[in-house]
Structure 1
């Protein structure tokens, strides 16, 4: 919700705002609920990181969980300040994260192991520079959607070749949280004028953050299961405290 207001962070300079009243709860936080709603993502990514390190998964998964945390922290900075410079700290990690997914999903088929990681790294660095200089708007969104579409067929292929019922459930939870989060995001964007007249704002964008945190966790866990199968690590999905699924593996002594 755009407002002309001066606060601790100064006037709003970001090119995009959500349907939450600015500085309604604190003069230090522009969008309070959109800021704190990133905390579940950080917690879930930290749990995933601990699991990846403890069981000695490949470093790519540790980097992926760290990228989830980095994205959430960038989103906190952006929504807390609504400054253009912090907007980059939210949007650029979104692209970097998708490049990591491209790498993890497609790396088993690469014949030249070092070529694609180097290309993706340089591509991500070039995008960061371009986005910082030119402040890509619709171009950023289209670019992000294209990267998501590049991952979709491969994700579906992993799903149909997975026989484990609990692993398939992870993929279904990934899709369900993605769809629900997207619906909340669309509602917040499309019906902001109507929502602004309601006595209580449902905070659709904040729910988007929460659902995206779970979406990333379920996607990462599913991909860890698939990779463990490729490496013959006898993966199985178990529940942490009977609630949160994670992947448990059994490596051979030689590994």
Structure 2
């Protein structure tokens, strides 16, 4: 904790702290950079949400973009307070979001359509209840990584079955941001003692937030493209101001 600044939220009660000195800039914000680095993720999710509404994509993508926003807001609250309750408000939406990705990725080939959303909903509810009572440590991280690994093979399958170059580029950007973000996360965790002696903290966990904000956007946009192809909506990846990618579709008049 920085000298001369007291904590508005009281002692740290979360099971995890990150490699950023607490309460340096404000008594209301424990980890300044880790808190505000979530803002790009919120803005990117909002852009995706507007596009999903504007082009009348399925509700699953509306829920997905909203879940990205909720996750980023929960992360902001957690890093601002470092309290146990806010930690749950960060970690539980992380699991819910991955369950939603699993549904979007696997549901097109699932023959018993009611069983998958029912199971995933009950699983997410059960996890939330257990997580509210049990302090997870490394177990939560392993559980989250397992859910992520369940998504990657399916993303690879979609990539292999997509011929559009722009859509493939989205998938590549998804992979690059995932790897860079994971590298920043690992360095922040593994080398924190060394970093604390540096004259400059590279803020690895804040960079993780930044990369994962873009990662979620690229993943969502790629999945929207793939789903539009499945529905026969003639999707195209276009770029706003020749830079920012989004999916544009042309639905048949009957739809």
TM-score (ref. length: structure 2): 0.97
Partner of 1:219: 219
Q: State how far apart, in whole Å, the 2-side matches of 1:186 and 1:12 are.
A: 22
Partner of 2:20: 20
Would the aligned equivalents of 1:2 and 1:17 in 2 still touch at CA under 8 Å? no
What's the Cα RMSD here? 1.4
Q: State how far apart, in whole Å, the 2-side matches of 1:212 and 1:2 are.
A: 28
Q: State how far apart, in whole Å, the 2-side matches of 1:2 and 1:168 are.
A: 46
Bigger drift between 89-98 and 111-120 goes to: 111-120
* 1:182 Cα deviation after fit: 0.7
Partner of 1:238: 238
Q: Deviations over 1:47-102 (max 9, x none)?
A: 00000011000000010000000000000000000001100011000000000000
Partner of 2:77: 77
Secondary structure of the residue aligned to 1:211 is helix
Q: State how far apart, in whole Å, the 1-side matches of 2:102 and 2:6 are.
A: 41
Partner of 1:9: 9
* 1:241 Cα deviation after fit: 2.4
Aligned length: 254
Q: State how far apart, in whole Å, the 2-side matches of 1:123 and 1:135 are.
A: 18
Matches within 5 A, 1:1-255: 7-255=7-255
Would the aligned equivalents of 2:99 and 2:147 in 1 still touch at CA under 8 Å? yes
Provide structure 2 residue ranges, at least 5 long, that are not aligned to the other structure: none
Q: Deviations over 1:205-224 (max 9, x none)?
A: 00000000000000000000
Residue 240 and residue 66 in structure 1: after superposition, are their counterparts in 2 closer, same or farther (change >3 A)? same
Would the aligned equivalents of 1:228 and 1:249 in 2 still touch at CA under 8 Å? yes
Q: State how far apart, in whole Å, the 2-side matches of 1:226 and 1:43 are.
A: 23
Would the aligned equivalents of 1:188 and 1:204 in 2 still touch at CA under 8 Å? yes
